[in-house]
Structure 1
Amino acid sequence: MPAQQDTAPANQTFAQRARTARDRTGLTRPVAAGLVGRSAEWVKGIETGAIGMPRLPMLIRLATVYECDVADLTGDDRISAATYTKAAHADLPAIKRALTTYRLVPGDSRPESAEVLHARVRQAWKLWHGTGDHRSRIATLLPDLLVDTQHAVRALDGPSRRQALIAQAQTYHLAQLFLAFQPTPELVMMTGDRSMAAAQEADSPRAIAGAAWYMNHVYRDANEAAEARVELAEQASALLRQDNEEDLARWGLLQLAVALSFAKVGRAGDAWRYWDRAADAARRLGEGYAHPWLIFGDGVVSAYALTMHNDLVQPGKALDVANALDLDTVPSATRRAYHFVEMARAHGLRDEGVAQVALLQKAFKTSPETVRFNMHTRMVLPELARTGPRAVRSDARELALALGVPM
């Protein structure tokens, strides 16, 4: 979700607008350069006017990294980054209606028990992490789950109501994941806020920790200050016990959230310090452990090291991690596909287009909708189709068409 920002003066040059946009995110030139697949000198050249305005694919990439519209960089209000980079799922209108309207159930209508609601939520998580079109599958469940958890929260009392609130928080997590990287940033923020409110009302440290993990994703995507993300994760972590398996998994997940936040803004020392904490928690949980719906475990902690190296513009180290990964240990097709995309991103930072396209194809085969709604994939495919190695241009074009990416 784009951070709130003032409109740049109309008389600014492209170079000035680019520098202003980067300054607002707090990104250094090397970090920004790595995120768009160029050198720090290239970013400097853009910002000083030594290099002119790039073509549309690179403008889109810059706008995505800086969390602004292309128009904020070019000064042309007719161009919007969302037009080119964000896909809309066919079921988005139905999910939006379910979130913004209320189907009020008569007060004397008997709600489903908290146990039944939790069973339905568990089934939704299995569908989310399974193979195939995971967004489409949970879209058929979410509207009724939203209505039924709302009804249960109104009608139940005591411990049963708290359990219904926990089920409601997880339902909002699923809605937030469905909405991610679609042209409805306000709904992503709304679902994140509602899940945290439900978790707090349930007075459940575990539910609060889960909500904090997903709110951290919202904050990172909105380029909120790293300190705000860290504070949220630290406060939620303090509510958990490390001598309990369920608590330890969520505590480790929050350490990972902080590590990812610091890596995104280039603070390598802090990032790896928190990653070590997450890795230690995963080791204590045992080899092969994976949380049933948060998927925290040693496989995911190792795989996210790849993302951190990419964000820190260390593609060689990222590929060293990739070569050692066994993604078969990650029991989630959506996560595996995401990590394949991250492998592709590392190869892209080294201008290795053949490997990049091959990994994007593998990610698409693993979880089509993960790739369809991945911003990096949607940004790089048109460029690879036009200017990548000749051996893969047709493959990149074919994949872009399958994803519905404008060429």
Structure 2
Amino acid sequence: MSEQPRPAPTPETFAQRVRRARDRAGLTRPVAGGLVGRSAEWVKGIENGTIGMPRLPMLIRLATMYECDIADLTGDERISATTYTKAMHTDLPVIKRALTAYRLSPDDREPEPAAVLAARVRQAWQLWHGTGDHRSRIASLLPDLLADAQHSVRALDGADRRHALVAQAQAYHLTQLFLSFQPAPDLVMLTGDRSMTAAQDADSPRAIAGAAWYMNHVHRDANEAAEVRVELADQASALLRQDSEDDLARWGLLQLAVALSYAKTGRAGDAWRYWDRANDAARRLGPNYAHPWLIFGQGIVDGYAITMHNDLMQPGKALDVALALDLDQIPSATRRSYHLVETARAHGMQDEGVAAVALLQKAWRESPETLRYNMYTRMVLPELATAGPRMVRADARALAQELGVAV
């Protein structure tokens, strides 16, 4: 008797794919809805099939939120989220080569002293936080900086080598920031791991704390479990003595990292408990303090409260914070631009498109490349340009054109 052919498996529906993507991301329906400016009931309707597949702008939002491709949601392999949402910097191939190049032959050059490396890293941080196209400016410095730091770490020994490792860890932080929000997630993870390894090899609690802050961004963007991020930040915090401004600033920054992690997963009580710790550290440092390159201070703590309220679906409270935020307390154009974008996101969640476009324009003037590589901006501009308030559609289209976003 011949064996009967097995029936073909029933293809997954769009609703089933979206539900699976949300479960994998570990988000509740209320949190997922808030992140895309919709209600929990809307998410439920999408997942049970009573609401059909949304249009492309919303598909892009969902794919970005769930850290997957549009094809994972639609089943259509011809569509890729990165095609629509992630811009590639022209210098990305150069940075990639710098990260993946290994000099195996002997290097007869004199190693650069750790103090010189540190000075070059400080200069790069100043360029990163300054006005203008910060990514483009540091892209020209990073290949040589990474190569020279690698050579010094291999050639020096003792205290000089440890100091060079601290500088190398910061060079990797800068590289990670350059790579963020570009189609290179593997390189972002690589630089995060290398910076932590350098910090541990340096046996420097401060360097480890800085690496933990940036690794938290990697884990958060990858939707890793909050517990993974919290454990890392708590372990790094425990290494700091808090007996100096620098130690206290890094400790406060790690409390902020945990607060952001909990807010993204909807755990409001835990989020604000850790934010209070960060706020206390900022107050102890004084209203005019800002860390020279991590930029921790009162302005940053207040600014990230906007993001936390947004992630917790509290746009009204986010705007209350934004009204009182003093951007002059934040000595970084990139950070000022980011907090302006987050304020625009709060207005967008309340369907206040005029205010959202105005703030995005202001963020563009503050730091063009911050806006160009911001995922929220790239997702929302096509919708504002076609379905936003009529009086700002032209402005939204013009800004989208500047960013290279298809409308």
Q: Higher mean Cα deviation, 370-379 or 279-288?
A: 279-288
Q: What corresponds to 1:89 in structure 2?
A: 89
* Matching residue's letter, 2:182: Q
Q: What corresponds to 1:334 in structure 2?
A: 334
Structure 1 residue ranges (4+ consecutive) displaced by more than 4 angstroms after TM superposition: none
Q: What corresponds to 2:181 in structure 1?
A: 181
* Matching residue's letter, 1:33: G
* Matching residue's letter, 2:296: F
Q: What corresponds to 2:112 in structure 1?
A: 112
Q: What corresponds to 2:405 in structure 1?
A: 405
Q: What corresponds to 1:32 in structure 2?
A: 32
What is the TM-score when the length of structure 1 is the normalising length? 0.97
Q: What corresponds to 1:383 in structure 2?
A: 383
* Matching residue's letter, 1:20: R
- How much does 1:193 deviate? 0.2
* Matching residue's letter, 2:163: Q
Unaligned runs of 5+ in 1: 1-8
* Matching residue's letter, 1:19: R
Q: What corresponds to 1:355 in structure 2?
A: 355
Please show how residues 1-400 of structure 1 align to structure 2 within 5 Å: 11-103=11-103, 106-400=106-400
Aligned pair count reads 399
- How much does 1:103 deviate? 4.1
Q: Higher mean Cα deviation, 121-130 or 103-112?
A: 103-112
Unaligned runs of 5+ in 2: 1-8
For the structure 1 residues 10 and 191, does the alpha-carbon distance in structure 2 shift closer, same or farther, using more than 3 Å as the test? farther
Query: What secondary structure does 1:295 align onto?
Result: coil
Cα distance in 2 for partners of 1:203, 1:235 equals: 14
Cα distance in 2 for partners of 1:38, 1:361 equals: 24
Q: What corresponds to 1:4 in structure 2?
A: none
Cα distance in 2 for partners of 1:45, 1:288 equals: 49
Cα distance in 1 for partners of 2:108, 2:127 equals: 32
Cα distance in 2 for partners of 1:10, 1:221 equals: 32
* Matching residue's letter, 1:280: D
- How much does 1:108 deviate? 3.3
Q: What corresponds to 2:3 in structure 1?
A: none
Work out whether residues 131 and 366 of structure 1, in 8 Å CA contact, stay in contact via their aligned partners in 2: yes
- How much does 1:286 deviate? 1.1
- How much does 1:10 deviate? 7.0
Cα distance in 2 for partners of 1:145, 1:311 equals: 36
Work out whether residues 288 and 299 of structure 1, in 8 Å CA contact, stay in contact via their aligned partners in 2: no
- How much does 1:102 deviate? 2.4
Cα distance in 2 for partners of 1:268, 1:105 equals: 54
Query: What do the CA deviations read for 1:350-375 (whole angstroms, capped 9, x no partner)?
Result: 00000000000000000000000000
- How much does 1:104 deviate? 5.3
Superposition CA RMSD, Å: 0.9
Highest CA radius of gyration, 1 or 2?
2
- How much does 1:41 deviate? 1.1
Cα distance in 1 for partners of 2:205, 2:44 equals: 45
